[in-house]
A and B are shown apart, each in its own frame.
Chain A
């Protein structure tokens, strides 16, 4: 079946540092890929998405590129802020169904 693997956290960075959160997936066919962010006490918010190979999703300074050859969708940001502290989930939706397959989540902590 489908699966998503994320790097384990927590990831602790200083403000303005470069961020990478690794995400790799296993799926049949051509899934759509998503990053969600969850701030403390809130639901999941869609951060960005990519629906086909070589697509780059971007939002709020975050980027991720759909790499089919390496089955990866790594999240990057050039300069993190304290307000980026949250849990980040990588997920895929396979074109065979309506389900999301989530990675385990990565907690990011940004210190001033």
Chain B
């Protein structure tokens, strides 16, 4: 089945130690998103790529960065994670050209900072 796949499902890392989360998709969607979700709150958009164009949300912390080497893959890098970055991180994709299309989500990576 066409899917959005996130790896790893669970990640535990130390305070201040860089961490990278990955997302891949087989839907050939041109838009990819990264969200942070805490305690069953609504997902909070961090940034998104429209094709190769990167769009950062104004309140996304500077130590959160992203890379999209090709259409299928997108990475979330946290350079120096703090305790407050413990959360579920969700990747999503959609087609940018059709506004009635939903976003398709992966199962998320649950990140714990110790």
Contact = CB atoms under 8 A, between A and B. Distances in A.
Interface of A: 32, 34, 36, 38, 41-46, 49, 51, 87, 89, 93-100, 102-105, 107
Interface in B77-109: 90, 92, 94, 96, 99-108
Contact of A38 (B40, B50, B100): B40
8 contacts: A43-B106, A46-B104, A93-B102, A96-B99, A97-B99, A98-B94, A99-B45, A102-B42
Nearest to A47: B102
Contacts of A34: 102
Contacts of B100: 32, 49, 51, 93, 95
A98 B107 contact: no
Nearest to B9: A41
Interface centre among B45, B102, B105, by most chain A C-beta atoms within 10 angstroms, is B102
A102 B43 contact: yes
Contact of B50 (A49, A98, A107): A98
B40 to A, nearest CB: 5
Given A32-B99, A51-B100, A98-B50, A44 B105 contact: yes
Contacts of B4: 43
Contacts of A36: 105
